[in-house]
A and B are shown apart, each in its own frame.
Chain A
Amino acid sequence: MNCNEAELLLNPYVDGELDLMTAVRVEEHVTGCGDCGRQYRELQELRREIAEADLEFSPGAGLARRVAAARRRAAAEFQPWWRRPATVGLAAAAVLILTLVPAGLMRVMGAEDREVLDNHLRSLMASHLVDVPSSDHHTVKPWFQGRLSFSPNVPDLSGAGFVLTGGRLEMVRRAPAAALVYKRRDHVINLFAAPANGADSPPRAQSSEGYNLVAWKKGGLSYWAVSDLNARELMQFAELARSR
């Protein structure tokens, strides 16, 4: 791979958009080439700074209510009469859900989520956070080979300020599962992966006792990210991990 090629692929490389073979070739080039190596580090540094800059705007408390009201009005105007009650009912349900969400009442934690949260707490109590301490996903991923019946995805999220610190084995539903340990500032994030049934599902967030949990399914695996990190950043972590 020459510099022109590498330069073109550098952004998709840091964004995790390349297939494995191409990614390895970019990596080799970047390691051997001073100029491209510098560009790569600049990109990583920029991504870290953006992640740390707290750039996200949050909607004010009134917006959800305002949107729900506008929706109700529009529904009454545009929908045929036989659909109105249902639409209004839906809007009312949405308002109800939105009022309940901040109170953390939207979802009673399932047994599985509870188990994963317990695993997270246990990992913090014992001096046994990682079985394989490494910040290199190329070290952590192979470590699971032969220990699990599946190969967990070990995303490199250092560019976004989530630093891999290692991995360990866990039990979820009485079956061996992977736990990947990331850190954001002083917060530990456990990313659990276990075989799952059913279709892919988008991240859903919950919280319990000051801990946040985001769960999703992808490619036949269930994932849970658990941390005392704030819900927004944990969701960001989950979305990044899911997209890799």
Chain B
Amino acid sequence: MLWPHLRAAYNFARWLVRNDHDAEDIVQESFVKAFLALDRFRGGDARVWLLAIVRNTAMSMLRRRRADPMPGEEAPEPADRGEGIEHTLIAGERRQQVRTAIERLPGEFRETLILRELEGLSYKEIAGVLDVPVGTVMSRLARARNLLIHDLTAGRGAR
């Protein structure tokens, strides 16, 4: 029941913590938690349930980190953008710009956008994962997309 969602769980975790190693740890911990709690799962969408566990696990990891910061565990430096883009933007470069722009989004906007655009979740399902009202999902998504449009238009203008 949970295995089909391994990819979704990993992708979501990877976008939350932005590195492979932590993402794998989070997926492992989440699956163990989920399997142990399986008899408490009462119907509904297993994917939403699992992604909520992934998110909680990631959040407590990030919280631990913040309380006890260790070197090298800060968020990755945002890449320079808009500078030195003199040559033609090939497709790959544009893709990288899109990726970077999403990585730079504040966490609550990034997670909402990823669940919508990459996992294809409905507003109601996203609200379930993030434990916020549907209206909040709607406004975060609008805000995230506005930021991206602004960011990516600026990137394009620097060509």
Contact call A66/B24, Cβ cutoff below 8 A: yes
Contact call B15/A57, Cβ cutoff below 8 A: yes
Chain A residues with Cβ under 8 A from B94's Cβ?
49, 53
Q: How far is the CB of A150 from chain B (nearest CB, A)?
A: 23
Chain A residues with Cβ under 8 A from B35's Cβ?
71, 74-75
Dominant SS at the B interface?
helix
Question: Which stretch from B56-64, B70-78, B79-87, B116-124 is at the chain A interface?
Answer: B116-124
Q: How far is the CB of A77 from chain B (nearest CB, A)?
A: 10
By Cβ-Cβ distance, the 7 closest A-B pairs, closest first, are A239-B120, A59-B10, A57-B14, A53-B98, A53-B95, A11-B142, A74-B32
* Among B20, B36, B95, B121, contact of A54 (Cβ-Cβ < 8 Å): B95
User: Does A124 reach chain B (CB closer than 8 Å)?
Assistant: no
Contact call A58/B7, Cβ cutoff below 8 A: yes
User: Does A240 reach chain B (CB closer than 8 Å)?
Assistant: yes
Chain A residues with Cβ under 8 A from B138's Cβ?
11-12, 17
Dominant SS at the A interface?
helix
**Can you offer 14 A-B residue contacts whose CB atoms are under 8 A?**
A12-B123, A47-B117, A52-B91, A55-B98, A57-B15, A60-B24, A63-B6, A63-B28, A66-B28, A70-B28, A70-B31, A70-B32, A160-B117, A236-B118
Q: How far is the CB of B130 from chain A (nearest CB, A)?
A: 16
* Among B36, B95, B141, B148, contact of A74 (Cβ-Cβ < 8 Å): B36
Contact mask for chain B residues 14-43; partner A; CB cutoff 8 A; 1 contact, 0 none: 110000100110011101100110000000
Chain B residues with Cβ under 8 A from A70's Cβ?
28-29, 31-32
Contact mask for chain A residues 200-228; partner B; CB cutoff 8 A; 1 contact, 0 none: 00101000000000000000000000000
Chain A residues with Cβ under 8 A from B118's Cβ?
55-56, 236
Contact call B141/A58, Cβ cutoff below 8 A: no
- Knowing A57-B23, A59-B10, A59-B27, say if A42 contacts B149 (CB, 8 Å): yes
Chain B residues with Cβ under 8 A from A67's Cβ?
6, 27-28, 31-32
Interface residues on A, range: 35 or more
Chain B residues with Cβ under 8 A from A240's Cβ?
120
- Knowing A55-B118, A58-B7, A64-B6, say if A15 contacts B27 (CB, 8 Å): no
Chain B residues with Cβ under 8 A from A51's Cβ?
117
Q: How far is the CB of B69 from chain A (nearest CB, A)?
A: 25
User: Does A33 reach chain B (CB closer than 8 Å)?
Assistant: no
Chain A residues with Cβ under 8 A from B102's Cβ?
50, 55
Q: How far is the CB of B93 from chain A (nearest CB, A)?
A: 11
